[in-house]
Chains A and B, each alone.
Chain A
Amino acid sequence: MKTYEEALIECALTDERIIVMTAENRVAIRKLPPILGERFIDVGIAEQTMIGIAAGLALRGRIPIVHALAAFLTMRAFEFIRDDVGIAHLPVKLVGGVPGFLSDGNGPTHQAIEDIALMRGIPNMQIFAPADMNDLTASLPQIVASQEPCYIRYPAAAPTNIERTRLGIGNGEPIATGSDVEILTYGVLVREAILAREILAKEGVSVGIMDVRWLRPFDSETVLEAVHAAALTVTLEDHFLSGGLFSILSEELVKREEMATVLPIALEERWFKPALLPDVLEYEGFTGKQIAKKIKERLLGQPITIPKASTIRGLKTTSV
């Protein structure tokens, strides 16, 4: 399979509009400068300036693909993204490195675990959180072809071997079906969800998994169908509880006047323990085994009763 660098080179060489930019972070794009020449722009450690310049380039018809660590890109430069890219509605593509747990040993300054909440606050901003490089490289041409701004959580993690059948902006990928539990997740935690499913299967629990992939546009149809098909829904994410997948699902349910029993697994009110990725997962309770245990406890705990969507709809007294 292609590396991100190779996929990016392919896109850039076929589309003159593409400008690759970085705020002096070249880890994933080291080979690009000699290949792209002046279409590679490194502004130095200046995320705000990079976004402003990207907007200027986009005004002239370019499609800038900008790179910086997710934390600095979405937070240091937030207002620039909001004003220069968001208000202007320009097709700037934002690639955030080491998002969520992937910042492993860097410490809280580098932990982008509110990035989805922030980017979701900008009208028209697409948000893509692929589980692995294969999904990113396969999706890149469509992302570049779209006229919308897009934030990408860069997935520097081992491949998942998922065969994707629903590539395309805004499509979730159901990777497994199950009637007891439905795990909704994205990014680096997709692999852990798969492990949890295997463990639970041995105990007779039937688990479905949806790789949500796109937080925006959100695949409400597919997701809610899976949610209503299972007794318990689990939202699993390396993001603060507020503003991420759990929030999105809650909003979708309330909007439709539907209900579900949901176990949210996310980071609550604190930054995570900095360490190497496997140890972070272990310490924070996000390994497949720990996730399986949490789900089991929830299933054995208070009884789960789910009102069916149709019943709830029947309660509606007014229609909007």
Chain B
Amino acid sequence: MQTLSESRNIELQSLALRVREHIIRMATDGGCFIGASLSCTDLLVYLYSEALDMAPGRTQDSTRDYLLLSKGHDVPALYGTLAELGYFSKERLDNHLRTNDDIYWHPNRAIPGVEFHAGSLGHLLSVAIGIAMDIRLRKGSNRVFVIMGDGELNEGSVWEAMLTASAYKLNNLIAIVDRNEFQANVRTEELIPLEPLISKFEAMGWNAIRTNGHDFEAMQETFNQLLSMQSNQRKPGVIVANTVRGKGLPSIEQRADRWFVNFTHEEVAMLLLELHGVAKAALTSETLLVR
């Protein structure tokens, strides 16, 4: 992977903006887990656009890269990304929570592009290991990515699986921690502190790097760095992506009570305006800085 060009960076920002619009639209008529969805939007946009060897026509191709979403609650971000990239039609997002479709609060394998269902935390690192083991058995070169929440790291099964991945030297496995510093209701460091997280992973035998999960250039650099480490060392890798819960909507960012929301249609309209205002301001200041 090359460094990200300025124009590509802007394309990704624009894609992420559209995905965030989808998330906000899914936050009504039943609602969704908006905070976690907005925090990992840029990660998903980056991974599907730049890192994964995967495309809409290849969902059953055994040589594809896999991405598993273990934290589950952020599935609106995944669905928004998959729909934008053509894995299924965007109209289906309107069916969120409707019985005429299969789109609900947690990932569902029936939706094209979704590799495995999730909902109960601490499951998909093990499933990802199984996929990675089979790829190795068949001497494939594809990779398995799994996104976990930082709150999810409370689950003991994650640490069991970390030991196993390390024991089996799975350098085709890459975990990404959406480090938004929140569990459902409280800040992670105020409840079950995780830091120093990088050294914990390293002590378990993993390659671990931190990145800014909202900065596409930083992500590109970090993934390049990790992938080159993976090809030299037979270790699983993890990227701890620093993110902001509710990213893109300052009115709900880092608010403990904005975990699950069910907005009115008027509130959704206001939030869409807020999203665009923030994005426009960011773009303008960035453009000015470049000049």
In the complex, chain B residues whose CB is within 8 Å of the CB of A38: 136-137
Q: Which residue of B116, B120, B127 is within 8 Å of A53 (Cβ)?
A: B127
Q: Is the CB of B123 within 8 A of A52?
A: yes
Of B49-57, B159-167, B177-185, B251-259, the segment with at least 4 beta carbons within 8 Å of chain A is B159-167
Q: Is the CB of B126 within 8 A of A80?
A: yes
Which residues 42-59 in A have Cβ within 8 Å of B in the complex? 43-44, 46, 48-59
| Cα–Cα, bound, A97→B279 (Å) | 59
B130 at the interface (CB under 8 A from A): yes
Q: Is the CB of A52 within 8 A of B124?
A: yes
**A46-B163, A56-B131, A60-B131 in contact; A51/B120 too (CB < 8 A)?**
no
A41 at the interface (CB under 8 A from B): yes
Q: Is the CB of B62 within 8 A of A60?
A: yes
Q: Which residue of A44, A46, A53, A79 is within 8 Å of B130 (Cβ)?
A: A53
Q: Is the CB of A56 within 8 A of B137?
A: no
A15 at the interface (CB under 8 A from B): no
B109 at the interface (CB under 8 A from A): yes
Q: Is the CB of B157 within 8 A of A48?
A: yes
Q: Mark A45-87, 1 if CB is under 8 A from B, else 0.
A: 0101111111111111110100000000000000110011001
Q: Is the CB of A55 within 8 A of B157?
A: no
Q: Is the CB of A49 within 8 A of B120?
A: no
| Cα–Cα, bound, A64→B131 (Å) | 12
Q: Is the CB of B129 within 8 A of A49?
A: yes
Closest beta carbon of chain B to A73's beta carbon, Å: 15
23 examples of A-B residue contacts, CB within 8 angstroms: A38-B136, A39-B137, A43-B164, A46-B164, A48-B122, A49-B126, A53-B130, A54-B130, A55-B116, A56-B126, A56-B128, A56-B131, A56-B132, A56-B133, A57-B131, A59-B130, A59-B131, A62-B134, A80-B123, A83-B119, A83-B120, A83-B123, A84-B127
Pairs of residues from A and B, 9 with the lowest C-beta to C-beta distance, nearest first: A56-B130, A52-B126, A60-B134, A53-B130, A46-B160, A56-B127, A56-B131, A57-B130, A49-B160
A residues adjacent to B (C-beta < 8 A): 38-39, 41, 43-44, 46, 48-62, 64, 79-80, 83-84, 87-88
